[in-house]
Amino acid sequence: MKIAVVYSSITGNTESLAKTIKGVISKDELVYFGSPQENIEADLYFIGSWTDKGCCSEEMKSFVSTLKNKKIAYFQTAGFGESEVYFKRLFDNVMKLFDSSNEIVGSYFCQGKMPQSVKDRYLMMLEKNPEDERIIASLENFEKAKTHPDQEDLNRLSSWVLTILKNV
């Protein structure tokens, strides 16, 4: 089986997931590992992105809309986490981009740390509205995200990959 790992990552969280996936796949089967580009031919695609405004990155949006009749295992990191409901919403948003001829064989989501600039923005907002519960919750979430993806996220990811490979 020919397998491609195609991912979009700015600060390295999604890339560390992609590298973990690469580590589980046999070298003989891996035909592509890298960012989205044209003409990647594989039987199974592991496709991953960071979360940008409730969906995947713009480059990934363009890439996935070109795919037809492919088997796809989808993964994503998000600044907000700890909620399957939230991850499901993100997944649904991304799935709308795929042509219906594709087969989605699985999905994996976990939290990913955010840049300091995000915290600075929250702190500025909090200065203006010190009682705002949403900003306080966002700051708490920022701290929780700091350690992700962690080893447990990556172990869970490796198990997910093995399950996908067994079932396709």
Ligand X SMILES: Cc1cc2nc3c(=O)[nH]c(=O)nc-3n(C[C@H](O)[C@H](O)[C@H](O)COP(=O)(O)O)c2cc1C
Which segment (12-20, 26-34, 91-99, 156-164) binds ligand X by CB under 6 A?
Answer: 12-20
Which segment (37-45, 51-59, 125-133, 157-165) binds ligand X by CB under 6 A?
Answer: 51-59
Tally of CB atoms within 10 A around 54: 12
3-state secondary structure of 13: helix
Residue 22 C-beta: closest distance to ligand X, Å = 15
| CA–CA distance, 32 with 41 (Å, rounded to integer) | 8
State both tokens at 162: 């093995």
Q: Select the residue interacting with ligand X from 73, 114, 135, 157 (CB under 6 A).
A: 114
Residue 148 C-beta: closest distance to ligand X, Å = 8
138 binds ligand X (CB under 6 A): no
Task: State how beta strands 30-34 and 3-8 pair.
Answer: parallel
3-state secondary structure of 76: strand
Strand partners, 75: 48, 108
Which segment (13-21, 58-66, 97-105, 153-161) binds ligand X by CB under 6 A?
Answer: 13-21
Which one, of 128, 92, 123, lies nearest residue 107 by Cα?
Answer: 92
Q: Select the residue interacting with ligand X from 1, 43, 54, 65 (CB under 6 A).
A: 54
* Cβ nearer to ligand X, comparing 139 with 165: 139
The residue number with the shortest CB distance to ligand X is 112
- Contact pattern from residue 64 through residue 103 relative to ligand X, giving x for each residue in contact according to CB under 6 A and a dash for the rest: -------------xxxx-----------------------
Place of tokens 């306080």: 136
Q: In what order do the strands lie in the sheet with 103-111?
A: 30-34, 3-8, 44-50, 71-78, 103-111
Amino acid letter for position 81: G
Contact residues for ligand X, defined by CB under 6 A? 9-15, 50-54, 77-80, 112-114
